[in-house]
Structure 1
Amino acid sequence: MPLLPPEVDDYLTALAGTGLRDAVLDEMEGRAREHGFPIVGRAVGRHLELQARAIGARRVMELGSGFGYSAFFFARAVGEHGEVVCTDGDPDNAALAEGYLRRAGLWERIDYRVGDALTSFAQLEGEFDVVYCDIDKDGYPDAWEAARDRVRVGGLFVCDNTLWGGRVAGIGTGTSAGRDAVTPAIVAMTRAVADDERYLNSLVPLRDGVLVALRVA
């Protein structure tokens, strides 16, 4: 269920589009509408870019990338010498992402890995400036376990869909057994982040909820 009145959501989306006119981004949004593919949307995308730019991010790990919509914003943030590691289990999404991001002039900043997101993450070494989580919701606790020690001090753990249509607060339950089933996993991950004294976190009620946690120690 929408958490914001449609008029407010439209206002935020329009505001996020100010100064950002990009034909490739328009195509990606059109594809998402046509195929019912979940993307973060332009307002959240700009928020992700802002957060990454604010900490001077140069290395971003995406756990769940689809056809590259959120990577578009992260790739803009990291600059020409930065890197965004994308993950998705569907090779068709990887091919679509390459097509879109290459035309947007951002593909050289992308390392796209097809396969399980957490397996791909484990194969990489070192810390990241941002770890972004948007995998299947039942995997959220495992994603946090994998990410919490690999975000650099001063870096961010960011997670989408953390309000889950209000289900985390008991709103909208009973309308979808599948969504209800994974709600406890989202709540458990969010609580674990909140309980970690090394992180300062805020759950931003934008779209379906964006959890942003800054590692401070």
Structure 2
Amino acid sequence: MPEFLVDEAVEDYAYVSTQAEPPLLQELIDATNEQMGWPQKLSGRLVGRTLKMLAALTRPKHALEIGMFTGYSALSIAEGMPDDGKLICCETNPRAIEMAQRFFDRSEHGHKIEVIFGRAADTLEQLDMELDFTFIDADKRSYLHYYQAVKQRTRSGGLIILDNVLWSGKVLQPESELDDILVETNRLIAADPEVENVFLTVRDGMNIVRKR
């Protein structure tokens, strides 16, 4: 993934003009960079603060994250949730879960988070709650399936947020089956009469969807 999809100076300005994440999250960034492969999978400030802001505005009681990695986005969402809110996180990487849990245990918002190890598709089949807020940031080949499954479980007015929907700009000139899946997912969301959406060019693209 290229570091910048928009002008680097513009991206830099947006970053420094956004309020910083809490110190614990800054420490999590450093630990992820030092100890994990593919540290660029971490959401980062612009995505994280967007998630926190959306959660703070909507105050979800029941939230879901598909693809947690080391927990940066989970802690960002939990920060905006009410104290009695619950965020279920799906993750298949044991090392990432171990790191994330260490930081959850140190956070005042960590008690809101429950991590489930295993395939998100399996977790979704067993999920017995109506969702207020979902962040999708996992296997891109399954994005359309995740979106459709989550939408069925989302209350009217609930949010579904999909990350990496620009896919390093590959959605403009798709060359692979994976590129085509993301193009089709974005197309179907924009044409879905049951939702309204806005496609943001934040980092690698965020599609913010509100169920009608």
* TM-score using structure 1 length: 0.89
Distance 1:151 1:84 in 2: 14
Runs of at least 5 residues in structure 1 that lack an aligned partner in the other structure: 175-179
Question: 2:14 matched to which residue of 1?
Answer: 12
**CA offsets 1:112-162 (integer angstroms, 9 cap, x no match):** 000001211221112111111111111111111211111110111100000
User: Is contact 2:59-2:82 (8 Å) kept?
Assistant: no
Distance 1:215 1:197 in 2: 9
Counterpart of 2:7, as a letter, is: P
Which of 177, 195, 207 is matched with 1:199 structurally?
195
Counterpart mapping for 1:105-144 below 5 A = 105-144=108-147
Question: 1:168 matched to which residue of 2?
Answer: 171
Counterpart of 1:5, as a letter, is: D
SS of 1:51's equivalent in the other structure is: helix
Distance 1:89 1:16 in 2: 31
Which of 115, 139, 150 is matched with 1:147 structurally?
150
SS of 1:79's equivalent in the other structure is: coil
Of 68-77 and 97-106, the range deviating more from structure 2: 97-106
Counterpart of 1:11, as a letter, is: Y
Distance 1:58 1:16 in 2: 26
Runs of at least 5 residues in structure 2 that lack an aligned partner in the other structure: none
CA RMSD of aligned residues (A): 1.6
Counterpart of 2:162, as a letter, is: C
Which of 150, 172, 180 is matched with 1:184 structurally?
180
**CA offsets 1:18-54 (integer angstroms, 9 cap, x no match):** 4x4x332112211333343211111111111111222
Distance 2:119 2:17 in 1: 35
Which of 152, 158, 177 is matched with 2:161 structurally?
158
Question: 2:5 matched to which residue of 1?
Answer: 3
Counterpart of 1:59, as a letter, is: H
Deviation at 1:16, TM superposition (A): 2.4
Counterpart of 1:125, as a letter, is: D
Counterpart of 1:182, as a letter, is: L
Count of residue pairs the alignment pairs up: 207
User: CA 1:55/1:23 → structure 2, altered by over 3 Å: closer, same or farther?
Assistant: closer
Distance 1:87 1:145 in 2: 17
Distance 1:26 1:55 in 2: 25
Distance 1:97 1:4 in 2: 30
**CA offsets 1:50-104 (integer angstroms, 9 cap, x no match):** 1122222121110111111100111011121111100101222212111012112
Of 97-106 and 203-212, the range deviating more from structure 2: 97-106
Deviation at 1:181, TM superposition (A): 4.0
* TM-score using structure 2 length: 0.91
The alignment status of 1:102 with 2:105, answered yes or no, reads yes
Question: 1:28 matched to which residue of 2?
Answer: 28
Deviation at 1:14, TM superposition (A): 1.9
The alignment status of 1:46 with 2:42, answered yes or no, reads no
Question: 2:95 matched to which residue of 1?
Answer: 92
